[in-house]
A = this chain, B = another copy of it.
């Protein structure tokens, strides 16, 4: 922690800052500048409270943290990459394969989800996505089939062998969803629903955490830290676009978040080209870029009839588009594998 005093701070003020730092359990190493005093501190403590407490002093110009505020998710804690195994170990996320998760935005009917499941498994997807609990901006929009939807997902799994990823919206539903899902998806709007994150930390299912619409990369890691610190180390991160001034796309895909995260954490990182763009025609190009930049996988929307989808129709691929895209990704996935460092196992 570095504390920069205001110009012409008195000795008494400097002393009061040092005292406060010591109160919070840190040690002092001070330096004196020509124009203003800067104080360095090291150690372990509640760094947020300490920084805020210091900035509240009128004699302090600025107080900045040097160490990262997360521990378990950092590369310093674990240097080898985390590999998430699902389906009895048959599928590895963060490992040697580029994993594609695909399916409709919402589970709408048995026919729709079975058709989707058969189509995506045939094209090479390993995980079926489909929402049973839907976060919708309007209370008047379709809210999901709830447990009925979960049962249909299980049926699709039994028929195809696909693993299941589905969204969880409330800490109340964790036990219910965990019965059906192989991966519990936390949506962008719930990335900082801390009650939910804590409950997921006590659950044994892998969690996929989507980045909030206006969350920084550091906040995404802090939310992952919540899950891990409460006991569940199986977390997948997902870049799905952030909110900016640009309106040509539904969100702005911060694709560079993928290598940035890989420099900071050992957790796998996937990309969602459907929400990142909001437009079907842009999904294949962004999917290729996601492979090239080194993501661990994709999660995207495919629907047997996007024109009739109850949600996200404009960004869902038709089944034949998905097949063509999967075929066109092959060359890129081959290069991806060649450049892949041999992953270490958990």
Q: Which residues of B are found within 8 Å of A307, using beta-carbon distances?
A: 20, 53, 56-57
Report A74 CB to chain B, min CB distance, Å: 11
Chain B: minimal CB distance from A36 (Å):
7
- Interface flag for A238 (CB, 8 Å): no
Q: Is the CB of B245 within 8 A of A216?
A: yes
A104 located at the interface, meaning its Cβ lies under 8 Å from any Cβ of chain B in the complex? no
CB contact under 8 A between A189 and B193, given known A38-B2, A289-B292: yes
A263 — which chain B residues lie within 8 A by C-beta? 281
Interface pair A169/B142, CB less than 8 Å apart: no
Cβ-defined contact, A138 with B69, below 8 A: yes
The prevalent SS among residues of A at the interface is mixed
Query: With an 8 A cutoff between CB atoms, is A87 at the interface?
Result: no
**Residue A248 at the chain B interface, CB threshold 8 Å:** yes
Chain B CB within 8 A of A277 CB: yes
* Assembly CA distance A172 to B193 (angstroms): 13
* Given contacts A43-B34, A214-B243, A229-B139, A256 and B252 within 8 Å (CB-CB): yes
Knowing A49-B311, A66-B62, the reply to whether A256 touches B243 (Cβ < 8 A) is: no
A61 on interface, CB distance cutoff 8 Å: yes
The answer, among B142, B190, B314, for a CB contact under 8 Å with A193, is: B190
Give me the interface of A with B, judged by CB distance under 8 Å. 2, 4, 7, 20, 27, 29-36, 38, 40, 42-43, 46, 48-49, 52-53, 55-57, 61-62, 64, 66-67, 69-70, 76, 135-143, 169-173, 189-190, 192-196, 198, 212-214, 216-219, 222, 225-226, 229-230, 242-249, 252-260, 263, 276-277, 280-282, 285-286, 288-294, 306-314, 316, 328, 331-332, 335, 338-339
